[in-house]
Amino acid sequence: MSPIKTTYAIDNCNGRQGRAWDATYASAYEAVEALRVAMGWTEIVLSDNYAITLHDDEDGRQRHGSAWSAYPTQDACDADRDGGAQAPRVVEVRS
């Protein structure tokens, strides 16, 4: 059995274009920082993590991971009642 590979990506870009949305990152820190810069935020606040299931377009296998919704302030994070459904997020993908 091969070891589990973990990468990070940015999701829920709401139509934004740019390299940050298309890249994968070796660490959560790199992905969070890329998202902060791409959004033009001076700080970034992450929600609690939550489990997600992703579908891989290349081979159709399901991928499992975690996600953290991202906000420019703690107030914005606290005010998001739908649990980050529309917020940009950092996604951990294990394969």
The pLDDT tens digits of the residues spanning 22-75 come to 788 999 999 999 999 989 999 999 998 888 887 665 667 777 788 999 999 999
Residues in CB range of 28: below 8 A, 6 or more apart: 8, 68, 90, 92
pLDDT for position 31: 94
Q: For residues 10-47, b (16+ Cβ closer than 10 Å) or e, as one string?
A: bbbbeeeeeebbeeebeebeebbebbbebbebeebbbb
Task: Output the pLDDT for position 17.
Answer: 61
Position with higher pLDDT, 8 vs 86: 8
pTM of the model: 0.81
